[in-house]
Amino acid sequence: MTKIGKKEAIVLSQTVTYSMIEEAKKNLAGVIKETDLIYAENLSSKTGVELYLKLENLQKSGSFKIRGAYNKMLHLTESEKKRGVVASSAGNHAQGVAISAGKLSIESTIVMPKNAPFAKISATKHNGANVVLEGNIYDEAYQKALEIQKESGAVFIHPFNDPYVIAGQGTIALEMLAEQPDLEVIFVPIGGGGIAAGVAIAAKTIKPSIKIIGVQSENAPSMYEAVQLNKIETVKVERTIADGIAVARAGDLTFPIIQEYVDEIVTVSETLLSQAFLFLLETCNLVCEGAGVVSVAGLLANAEAFKGKKVGAILSGGNIDVNMIESVINHALVATGRRTQIKTAISHQPGELTRLLSCISDEGGNVLFIYQNRNRKGLSMYQMGVTVVIETIDEAHKQVILNKLKAYGYEFYFGGSTTNKIDTN
């Protein structure tokens, strides 16, 4: 975990005040849903903390973004409203702007990356926005949105680098601490920094002793790197399931707020994100997008440091493309030893396949897929190649089955050469 050096913080956070967040709460009354804060019993047991989940995945539009978007657009002048608005977004801000624009009778244009999830593109169009697809990451869509704004004269609604947007997102903390004033730690996602900045200002004002832990994908660590270097740099963004926080450059408004108010930042891997997704699905019956599970992933990675604490974690969004769900779940199952692909070879004669499968089933393994072929390099003319995908309870159960297969004398193949190790690739 990266502790933020408070002495080096550039204090510009006066541009967003606690009173602005309180005003935003009044502005949002009747517009947004005050989402539930639920006790997560299974996750609490797993992590050793008393964990409460803030369900912004069940917010109107499917994410917290409507809070900041509506609060910003409510402050536009009548002249600005007539000019329309333009925004760039990986998806959630897009829907927040589109819904808010519809409520306020404002024309909206949203620029989204070409690889944005289909569900988010479709929902944004459904909510009345004109959608333009440009670039492969948020920052490329952002540049296109600036071009449209310059050409059309529309007002640009920034997803995180705006005081009214930040204030709107900060209302999440007001709700959390009103319901659970004894919270000692809040885990919050960080992309460009809007939600983290707003939540941190609100929470620290109400309760200065509370710890704010920001969580960012290690494939898009823009704020993490900015804090490390004490300056904003553009970072390389790798593909991540947390597409909603895949931002290459931290906001120049949010960065000093993060420095001043956020206590620590942790980055999480794609594997840990997939495991957090699966854990929320299986134990809490909650579906979140990749960016929505980062706070839980951050806790899972650092649970030991917070044992015994009363912790809040914000599930920031639930707008995951259904086509991604299978891939995310499969990745998590493989990573946790619950699903394994085994490649081996058997004698090409009656009963040999039954013998192999019996080794697996006798130990409680479940065969999900089996494929046979005689064309694998390294096989003799008397052998059959077999690929089996098995389902197991956990890593320990998987090892029991693998050990039994080894004990029965199976040889396993890597590119034509034999080995006493099982090929699970």
C-beta atoms surrounding 193 within 10 Å: 32
Structure tokens at 360: 């697996």
- Catalytic member of 65, 120, 144, 398: 65
User: Do 138 and 265 share a domain, yes or no?
Assistant: no
> Does any domain span residue 169?
yes
Q: Do 6 and 133 belong together in one domain?
A: no
Position 390 in a domain: yes
- Domain finish residue from 97, 130, 156: 156
367-376 CB contacts, 8 Å cutoff, 24+ apart? 367/391, 368/339, 374/348, 376/345, 376/413
Q: Are 107 and 85 in contact (CB under 8 A)?
A: yes
Q: Are residues 272 and 287 in the same domain?
A: yes
Mean pLDDT computed over every residue of the chain? 90
94 within some domain = yes
Q: Is there a single domain that holds both residue 27 and residue 88?
A: no
Q: Is residue 130 part of a domain?
A: yes
**Region 295-302: what's the mean pLDDT?**
97
Calpha distance 267→269 (Å, rounded) = 7
Rounded Cα gap, residues 139 and 160, in angstroms: 13
Q: Is residue 425 part of a domain?
A: no
What residues contact residue 211 under an 8 Å CB cut-off, 6+ apart?
A: 184, 185, 186, 263, 264
Under the banding of pLDDT at 50, 70 and 90, the label for residue 217 is very high
pLDDT at 281 over 70: yes
The verdict on 299 and 167 lying in the same domain is yes
Q: DSSP 3-state assignment of 24?
A: helix
Tell me which of 153 and 6 has the higher pLDDT: 153
Task: Identify the pLDDT of residue 2.
Answer: 47
pLDDT at residue 419 tops 80: no
Model confidence at 379, pLDDT cuts 50, 70, 90, reads confident
Question: Residue 324: pLDDT band by 50, 70, 90 thresholds?
Answer: confident
Do 72 and 213 belong together in one domain?
no
Q: How confident is the model at residue 185 (pLDDT cuts 50, 70, 90)?
A: very high
pLDDT for res 168: 98
CATH code of 189's domain:
3.40.50.1100
User: Using CA of residue 224, residue 228, residue 233, residue 234, what is the dihedral sign?
Assistant: negative
Together in a domain, 380 and 355: yes
Active site residue 44: no
Q: Residue 126, Cβ neighbours under 10 Å: how many?
A: 11
Q: How far apart are CA 211 and CA 376, in angstroms?
A: 56
Residue 283 forms part of a structural domain: yes
Window from 18-32, 279-293, 382-396 with minimum mean pLDDT: 382-396
- CA-to-CA separations, 108 to 27, 58, 72, 139, in angstroms, rounded: 20, 24, 14, 19
Shortest CA distance to 91 belongs to which of 55, 72, 64?
64
Asked whether 73 and 85 are in contact (CB, 8 A), the reply is yes
CATH number of 400's domain? 3.30.70.260
Say if residue 250 is in the same domain as residue 373. no
Please report, rounded to a whole number, the percentage of residues in the chain having pLDDT higher than 70.
93
Q: What is the mean pLDDT of residues 336-355?
A: 90
Q: How confident is the model at residue 413 (pLDDT cuts 50, 70, 90)?
A: very low
Q: Look at residue 303 and tell me whether its pLDDT is greater than 50.
A: yes
Q: How far apart are CA 321 and CA 62, in angstroms?
A: 12
Question: Packing angle between helix 92-103 and helix 118-126, nearest 10 degrees?
Answer: 10
Pairing outcome for strands 37-39 and 50-55: antiparallel
Q: How far is CA 307 from CA 179, 221, 262, 295, in A?
A: 21, 26, 20, 16
Residue 87 lies in a domain: yes
Q: Is residue 318 pLDDT above 70, yes or no?
A: yes
Of 59, 83, 258, 79, give the one whose Cα is nearest residue 153.
83
Res 418 pLDDT > 90? no
The pLDDT assigned to 60 comes to 87
Q: Which of 223-227, 303-307, 357-361 shows the lowest mean pLDDT across its residues?
A: 357-361
Residue 89 pLDDT more than 50?
A: yes
Chosen domain end from 274, 309, 332:
332
Given a cut of 70, whether residue 425 has pLDDT beyond it is no
User: Does residue 316 have an active-site annotation?
Assistant: yes
- Choosing from 97, 126, 156, the residue where a domain stops is 156
* pLDDT digit string, tens, across residues 40-79: 999 999 999 999 999 999 998 899 999 999 999 999 999 9
| Structural domain span for residue 356 | 337-419
Split at pLDDT 50, 70, 90, the class of 4 is low
3-state secondary structure of 343: strand
- Catalytic residue (one of 13, 144, 316, 398): 316
**Do 44 and 171 fall into the same domain?**
yes
DSSP-assigned states of every residue in 187-239: EEE-SSSHHHHHHHHHHHHH-TT-EEEEEEETTS-HHHHHHHHTS----PPPP
**Are 91 and 120 members of one domain?**
yes
Structure tokens given for 279:
């854990």
Residues 216 and 291 in one domain: yes
Residues 301 and 170 in one domain: yes
- Chain position carrying tokens 């396949």: 353
Structural domain count, the chain:
3
Q: Is residue 406 part of a domain?
A: yes
| pLDDT mean over 317-345 | 90
DSSP 253: T
| pLDDT given for residue 18 in this prediction | 97
Q: What is the mean pLDDT of residues 262-289?
A: 96
For the question of whether the overall pTM of this predicted structure is more than 0.75, the answer is yes
